[in-house]
Amino acid sequence: MKIDRLLSIVILLMNHKLVQAKELANRFEVSVRTIYRDIDTINQAGIPIVTYQGAGGGIGLAEGYRLDRNLLTNDELAAIVTALQSISSSHPSSDNELLVEKLSSIVPPADSAQFQLKTQQFLVDFSPWGSNGVQEQKLLRLKNAIEQQQAVTFTYCNAGGKVSARTVEPYTLVLKQQRWYLYAYCRLRDQFRLFKLLRMKDLHVEAQLFERQEVAVHDLPWDQEWHAPERTERVVLRFDAEVRHMAEEWFGVEELQEDVEGTVVASVPFPVDNWLYGFILSFGNHVEVLEPQFIRQQIKQIATRIVEKYETQNGT
């Protein structure tokens, strides 16, 4: 629809200083002539858009223009506030708090009570149980390092238990499965890597600055270590009925196949490392590895060593 395209153009121009008409035409799959007609329509609506000619020119919003409150409904404002409050649960920020106050303040007084109710309909808390603030401080330091383009050093223990000193160029913080990760360019490996914050020790922000590579973070394969075929193995697990709810929470109901006597089977790719073995063992005797055989044997060997350890008296 044309109105959707017009609004999308305005939002796009608010996030980019100048955009070429041809780029807009390609993005919205219309002609350049149509884009210029859209620009005229937007100008007539009172939103000042300026066209700059020559090299380095393009289409942009007039200097100093700000989004009018009327472009956002109360429901849209409530959704933004809820999202900001959710982020603040694990990543406290005075900027976020100030933004929440600003957005809340532009709601008409007559709608204030209903607006507050809408922002309380969903509560999303990403912080871990019993948080002591250590992770929040680490997040804040990394966020500042990303903004200032400062290299960071830390001691890292990977999933295999190997400890190494790393110097990295931080690009973005990733929240995945209620765990925070740092996606950064590792100077030791000469490539982008994903680092789990809980495995970092002795974090230090260097005075040394780095030149950020011209890459879009959303286009980076930050989860390639999970999906890379050479690093993953399809694992088939059968869960007893007693832990079915846990399997459903982890994999989702759609990924489980009904089996005999209330058991369910999951067939999913996993990176093969110590984390995988720990994950399987966390279900105790209520899970069985059906495939592949080498993982089945590894779990059997670990279980045997556990039995041997507990067969000794008083741990001696």
Predicted confidence at residue 294, as pLDDT, reads: 95
Residue 63, pLDDT score: 76
**Higher-confidence residue: 76 or 241?**
241
Kindly tell me if the per-residue pLDDT of 155 is higher than 70.
Answer: yes
pLDDT of residue 273: 83
pLDDT at 128: 62
Proportion of the chain above pLDDT 70, given as a percent:
78
- Does the pLDDT value for residue 261 go beyond 60? yes
Res. 12: pLDDT tops 90: no
Between 11 and 93, name the one with better pLDDT.
Answer: 11
pLDDT tens digits for range 192-208 = 888 988 889 999 999 98
Identify the residue with better confidence: 254 or 286. 286
Confidence at residue 131, expressed as pLDDT on a 0 to 100 scale = 62
Proportion of the chain above pLDDT 90, given as a percent: 30
Listed in sequence order, the DSSP H helices in the chain are 2-15, 21-28, 32-44, 74-88, 94-105, 112-119, 134-148, 224-227, 244-251, 274-281, 293-311
Is the domain 229-311 a CATH 1.10.287 member?
A: no
Question: Is there a contact between 123 and 132 (Cβ–Cβ < 8 Å)?
Answer: no
Nearest to 63 by CA among 14, 133, 113, 7: 14
pLDDT, tens only, 267-284? 988 888 888 999 999 999
**pLDDT exceeds 70 at position 114:** yes
**Range name among 118-132, 215-229, 300-314 with the lowest pLDDT average:** 215-229
Tell me, what amino acid is at 179? R
Residue ranges matching CATH 2.30.30 in the chain: 134-227
Give 50's pLDDT tier (boundaries 50, 70, 90): confident
User: What's the CATH code, domain 2-61?
Assistant: 1.10.10.10
Q: Which two tokens stand for residue 222?
A: 């930050």
7-16, 29-38, 68-77, 181-190: least confident range: 68-77
The hierarchical CATH code for the domain 134-227 is 2.30.30
In the chain, which residues fall in CATH 1.10.10.10? 2-61
- Point out the least confidently predicted range of 7-21, 32-46, 63-77: 63-77
Interior angle at CA 12, CA 72 and CA 122, nearest 5 = 40
- List every span in the chain annotated with CATH 3.30.70: 229-311
Nearest to 155 by CA among 196, 212, 208: 196
Burial 287-298 (b: 16+ CB within 10 A, else e): bbbeeeeebbeb
Helix, strand, coil in percent for the chain, rounding step 5: 50, 25, 25
